[in-house]
Structure 1
């Protein structure tokens, strides 16, 4: 019971117990995507292009799943903090029920609209055909993504991030086996090509859903009989979507933000710089993994203590999350600054790509601490039922300011592509200032210390 009760005991111990397994799991999730990219490249350039074109469409599933999952974590944590196991089970029942309904809708609509969505992106030829085949197969298994995130949200609320970590590690190694098995048709299995990559992902997600269901049923605070006695509650479902949709929309702005950056890169430079940016982002994602683990810990601990009305512990988890995250990011920034050329060369040996990617990483290193600060504040706001700020700051960082500042720095001040790189740093630090101001205003009303 002590491991599930985050309203007592040293917060630092809770953070380590929750954040470290989460970060390890996310590392293997990142490596999972690298494996898919590797095998797509083995098939053909068109197959790799098809997967790349599918990203913003695939991201719809991930954004929606992540939003519902984080909403489940926040509201479940609050219910547990209030010692209301009835509300905890009611939320779990309605979250899973709504997840199934959303899955059915998204799977059918996504499958039908995929060709149109590819046409909108300007895709054509073999890469478009392969991308459509891959994406339609992914939509076929959309429900397993959504249910996995919801089940993980129920476990996260109890302080259990090890179960999802175990699934992601298992999924990585399973994908290593299933990708070539389905792609090349080994052991009598039909040769599927690029569809095999998607089918392997669906199978892994199916196995993960089954495993996480088992872990939820066996979790210390879950009672199967109580769960099965619950009924549909429109109020609960509405609360869940109010809590989760801002997180989904925030992730959607990230996808749009990538398009904006790519647009300005091509406006000021060329496709070589696009390749450099793509390689650099992979390095950056690895550096940010500890911060993502801290997000889960911060949200869960803040939620439980908000439910228990232990206000000082909410401020304590925010403070510790920021300071620990900044310390890790500063260390990461130093390492990236020194080893940037070597890191980029892992993905591409073109001297121009290495040079451009190195420049980006060494400038971007100055912004690394901003990600942990922003995410810590957003996580606490989610934990105290104030999730909408994530959308506002996402629109500011990913869409509004890039269009203004990238053009201003790149054209008016003549910085060209450097205007994009420095623009990202400036936008992130101004976003941190806005986040602190907004949090203080909300906190004074919602969680006053006195």
Structure 2
């Protein structure tokens, strides 16, 4: 596989080349989750609620994995932009080692806190037991999730987003077979129920680890002889953590935010509202897929051009990524608003569940543009090695709701609709903050890149 030099050539073509495979891949990843949600709904409303409430806890793994992956992408892109293969391989060695250590820690300690976290959301009884069983199984298989994101980070830095796309597409079709196999106990297997959904997911991730490892070894930038000489280096691990931890914490705050949302949703609407919110999230994820592709494209292209000290191309990436993202979101809003009840109805025939889920979507569409503004700018900041502001924004978006949701839901007696509108208000406030800070950092960057020396970076 030949890597792509993103420091030259047409920016728009690069954005399309990098982002489209990512979006297609995550389309199938979201459909993967949709299949899981569908089967949980077929089992029972309790199973659907348990799976929905597990999302913010399961998201711990996603946050850590994504943080390490995006941190690896940023640093590897900069190394490639500087034409420094030794740094690239040192980074690869240390990123994979760090991934193994983190996954071992998660598989040992995370299951110890699963039950208390579920109880904090206010759930009990059958949804609690089903959610805990599903989540702990995912924790035990965390090594494959984390390795896959790190391997993909090394591939993304080379402009290869097709390998991960291929894995996600194959994974979706495997999951179609494996979910009912483990849930219902086909061919003499035990009936695992909701836990079977988690077993199928872990198995698919294992297949992905094998495939992505092969793809990395075969990539044009990977040289076995150089990799063998690379050593574990504390400074490089620290550099990965400096890039990855802010991204992980930002995503972890999203998990915290969903946890807070679940708490108020259960408080105002009960298990049916939680189930409706969970189903609606799957639909929302489909609408936001282009944003995920644009995030990776922005991070990768900005990273290589930052390494090559090309300020004008960094600015151009930002403008064009925003224009593409906002245009696509406009289409998503037009489609989802009128079809919301039909879309949620695909997951449940419970009228209350459908009403809650469609009610959420019809308010949430007013926040769709915010995800483009937030994600593109945060990806740009990470690409220029300024990742820490993401934590500030993340905490703002997830802590303020505790007060705002209560005020809207209880004081103004809006109930669960207060939660929905609270999300919209907070996101737009966050956009204002992010745009101001990004403009400030870009002005500083222009001065630095114009200077004779880049040591200040």
TM-score (norm 1): 0.92
Per the alignment, residue 15 of structure 1 pairs with: 15
Q: Which residue pairs with 1:438 in the alignment?
A: 437
- For residues 40 and 275 of structure 2, what CA distance do their matches in structure 1 show? 17
Distance 1:213 1:438 in 2: 38
Change (3 A) 1:141 1:299: same
Q: Which residue does 2:135 correspond to in 1?
A: 135
Give structure 1 stretches of 5+ with no counterpart: none
In the other structure, the counterpart of 2:244 is 244
1:252 offset after TM fit, Å?
1.2
Matched residue, 1:404: 403
Deviation at 1:102, TM superposition (A): 1.5
Report if the CA contact (8 A) 2:103-2:143 is conserved: yes
Decide whether aligned partners of structure 1 residues 57 and 355 sit closer, same or farther in structure 2, where only a CA change above 3 A counts: closer
Distance in structure 2 (CA, Å) of the matches to 1:268 and 1:205: 36
* Structure 2, gaps ≥5 residues long: 451-457
Seen in structure 2, the aligned counterparts of structure 1 residues 415 and 41 have a Cα distance that, compared at 3 Å, is closer
- Superposed counterparts of 1:307-346, under 5 Å: 307-346=307-346
Residues 210, 192 of structure 1: CA spacing in aligned structure 2 closer, same or farther, 3 A cutoff? same
Instruction: State the Cα distance separating 1:128 from its structure 2 match.
Output: 3.8
CA distance 1:259–1:185, shift in 2 (3 Å): closer
Give me the whole-angstrom Cα distance separating, in 2, the residues matched to 1:377 and 1:73: 16
Q: CA deviation at 1:65?
A: 0.7
Change (3 A) 1:184 1:271: closer
For residue 108 of structure 1, report the CA deviation from its aligned partner: 1.6
Which piece of structure 1 moves more, 271-280 or 15-24? Answer: 271-280
Q: In the TM superposition, what whole-angstrom CA distance separates every residue of 1:395-416 from its partner, at most 9, and x where no partner exists?
A: 111222x233334444555655
Q: Once structures 1 and 2 are overlaid, which stretch shifts more, 192-201 or 63-72? A: 192-201
Q: CA–CA distance in 2 between the matches of 1:409 and 1:115?
A: 29
Task: Show the counterpart of 1:420.
Answer: 419
2:63 is aligned to 63
Supply the distance in 1 between the matched residues of 2:262 and 2:124 (Cα, whole angstroms). Answer: 19
Q: Give CA-to-partner distance per residue, 1:313-361, whole Å, 9 cap, x none.
A: 1111011111110111112112223333332333344555545544433
Distance, in Å, in 2 between the alignment partners of 1:364 and 1:51 is 21
Aligned counterparts of 2:288 and 2:68: Cα–Cα separation in 1: 22
* Residue 197 of structure 1: how far off its partner (Å): 2.3
Gap change, CA 1:116 and 1:295, over 3 Å in 2: same
The residue number in structure 1 matching 2:88 is 88
Counterpart position of 2:54: 54
Aligned residue runs from structure 1 range 209-248, under 5 A: 209-248=209-248
Q: RMSD over aligned Cα, in angstroms?
A: 2.4
Alignment partners' CA distance in 2, 1:126 and 1:269: 18
| Structure 2 counterpart of 1:376 | 376
Partner of 1:282: 282
Post-superposition Cα deviations, 1:221-256, rounded to whole Å, max 9, x if no partner, equal 111111111001000000101100111111111112
Other structure's SS at 1:372 match: helix
* Matched residue SS, 1:347: coil
Which of 304-313 and 120-129 deviates more?
A: 120-129
The more displaced of 413-422 and 96-105 is 413-422
Once structures 1 and 2 are overlaid, which stretch shifts more, 95-104 or 372-381? 95-104
From the superposition, tell whether residues 129 and 349 of structure 1 become closer, same or farther in structure 2 (CA, over 3 Å).
closer
- What is the CA distance between 1:71 and its match in structure 2? 0.5
Give distance in 1, aligned partners of 2:336 and 2:169: 25
State the aligned residue count.
449
Offset at 1:279?
A: 3.2
| Secondary structure, aligned partner of 1:285 | helix
Q: 1:190 to 1:92 in 2, by over 3 A?
A: same
**So what's the TM-score if we normalise by structure 2?**
0.91
